[in-house]
């Protein structure tokens, strides 16, 4: 199926979870924030968050401030 990651088209397998995508992109263990279709996806739901064809995904590095 086709999704878009930071504006770039990408072909991925069906039934992909957010957790699967993070592993495929080699982002495991990194401080990142992910939005799908302009809605923040909590890290606690990555295992169950199912991606769908056409999803617009934005991945950014999470930076702490103070």
Instruction: Give the H or E element holding residue 10.
Output: strand 8-11
Query: What's the helix, strand, coil split of the chain in %, to 5?
Result: 15, 35, 50
Determine contact, residues 32/60, Cβ cutoff 8 Å.
yes
Q: Is the pLDDT of residue 64 over 80?
A: no
- CA geometry: angle at 38 spanning 8 and 22, to 5°? 55
Query: For position 52, what pLDDT does the model report?
Result: 98
For residue 2, the tally of other CB atoms under 10 A from its CB is 10
Q: State the residue range of the domain holding 42.
A: 2-61
Instruction: Judge whether 13 lies within some domain.
Output: yes
Counting the structural domains of the chain, the total is: 1
Instruction: Judge whether 66 lies within some domain.
Output: no
Residue with token string 């999704």:
3
Q: Is the pLDDT of residue 65 over 80?
A: no
Digit-coded pLDDT (tens) for 3-38: 999 999 999 999 999 999 999 999 999 999 999 999
At 66, the pLDDT band (50, 70, 90 cuts) reads low
């Amino acid at each position: 199926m086709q999704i878009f990651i930071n504006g770039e088209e990408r072909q991925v397998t069906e039934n992909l979870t957010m957790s699967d995508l993070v592993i495929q992109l080699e982002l495991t263990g990194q401080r990142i924030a992910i939005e799908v279709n302009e809605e923040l996806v909590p890290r606690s739901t990555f295992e169950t968050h199912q991606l769908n064809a056409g999803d617009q995904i934005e991945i950014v590095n999470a930076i702490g401030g103070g």
